[in-house]
Structure 1
Amino acid sequence: MLYNLLYPLSEHFIVFNVFRYITFRTIYAIITAFILSIIFGPKIIKELKNMQISQKAKGYEPERHKEKEGTPTMGGILIILSSVISTLLWADLRNYYIWIVIYVFIFTAAIGLFDDYIKTVKKNPEGLTPRAKFLSQLVVAITATILIIYVDKSGYSTKLAFPFFKRLVIDLSYFYILFAVFIIVGTSNAVNLTDGLDGLAIMPTVISFGTFILFSYLAGHIKFSTYLHIPYVVGSGELAIFCGSMVGAGLGFLWFNAFPASVFMGDVGSLSIGSALGTVAIIVKQEIVLAIVGGVFVLETLSVIMQVGFFKVTKGKRLFRMAPIHHHFELKGWSEPKIIVRFWIVSFLLALLALSTLKLR
Structure 2
Amino acid sequence: MLYNWLYPLHTEFSILNVFRYLSFRIIYASVTAFLIAFVLAPWLIKKLQEIKLGQQVRDDGPKRHLAKSGTPTMGGLLIIFAVVLATLLWADLTNKYVWLVILSTLGFGLIGFVDDYLKFIKAQSKGLTASQKFAGQVAIALAIGLILYFFLPGYSTKLSVPFFKNFTPELGWLYIPFVVLVIVGSSNAVNLTDGLDGLAVGPVMIASMAYTIVAYAAGHRLFADYLLIPHIEGAGEVGVFTAAIFGASLGFLWFNTYPATVFMGDVGSLPLGAALGTVAVISKHELLLLLVGGVFVIEAVSVIFQVLSFKSRGKRIFLMAPIHHHFEMKGWEEPKVVVRLWIIAILLALLSLSTLKLR
| TM-score, normalised by the number of residues in structure 1 | 0.98
Q: Note the 1:155-234 alignment, pairs <5 A.
A: 155-156=155-156, 158-234=157-233
1:150 maps to what in 2?
A: 150
Q: Distance in 2 between matches of 1:135 and 1:245?
A: 28
8 Å CA contact 1:48, 1:72 repeated in 2: yes
Displacement of 1:107 after TM fit?
1.2
SS at match of 1:174: helix
1:86 maps to what in 2?
A: 86
- Specify every segment of 5 or more residues in structure 2 that has no aligned partner in the other structure, as ranges: none
Of 323, 346, 351, the match for 2:321: 323
1:26 maps to what in 2?
A: 26
Matched residue type, 1:337: P
1:341 maps to what in 2?
A: 339
1:103 maps to what in 2?
A: 103
Q: Distance in 2 between matches of 1:259 and 1:103?
A: 32
Q: 1:231-269: per-residue Cα shift (whole Å, max 9, x none)?
A: 111110000000000000000000000000000000000
SS at match of 2:159: strand
Q: Distance in 1 between matches of 2:131 and 2:218?
A: 36
Q: Distance in 1 between matches of 2:49 and 2:155?
A: 50
Displacement of 1:61 after TM fit?
2.3
- Specify every segment of 5 or more residues in structure 1 that has no aligned partner in the other structure, as ranges: none
| TM-score, normalised by the number of residues in structure 2 | 0.98
Q: Distance in 1 between matches of 2:73 and 2:236?
A: 34
Q: Distance in 1 between matches of 2:167 and 2:151?
A: 24
Quick check: 121-130 or 87-96, which moved more?
A: 121-130
Q: 1:186-244: per-residue Cα shift (whole Å, max 9, x none)?
A: 00000000000000000100000000001000101111101101011111000000000
Q: Note the 1:164-313 alignment, pairs <5 A.
A: 164-313=163-312
Q: Distance in 1 between matches of 2:228 and 2:31?
A: 31
Displacement of 1:64 after TM fit?
1.5
Q: Distance in 1 between matches of 2:140 and 2:67?
A: 36
Identity %: 53
Q: Distance in 2 between matches of 1:307 and 1:129?
A: 21
How many pairs were matched up? 359
Matched residue type, 1:351: A
Q: Distance in 2 between matches of 1:253 and 1:66?
A: 22
Quick check: 118-127 or 192-201, which moved more?
A: 118-127
8 Å CA contact 2:34, 2:251 repeated in 1: yes
Matched residue type, 2:315: K
1:134 maps to what in 2?
A: 134
Displacement of 1:154 after TM fit?
4.5
SS at match of 2:169: strand
Matched residue type, 1:28: Y
SS at match of 1:11: coil
Matched residue type, 2:344: V
Q: Note the 1:69-84 alignment, pairs <5 A.
A: 69-84=69-84
8 Å CA contact 2:206, 2:346 repeated in 1: yes
Q: Distance in 1 between matches of 2:37 and 2:336?
A: 26
Q: 1:294-340: per-residue Cα shift (whole Å, max 9, x none)?
A: 000000000000001111121x2110000000000000000000000
Q: Distance in 2 between matches of 1:346 and 1:326?
A: 13
8 Å CA contact 1:96, 1:151 repeated in 2: no
Displacement of 1:12 after TM fit?
1.5
Q: Distance in 2 between matches of 1:151 and 1:7?
A: 28
SS at match of 1:118: helix
Matched residue type, 2:333: S
SS at match of 2:353: helix
Quick check: 54-63 or 147-156, which moved more?
A: 147-156
Displacement of 1:126 after TM fit?
1.5
8 Å CA contact 1:57, 1:125 repeated in 2: no
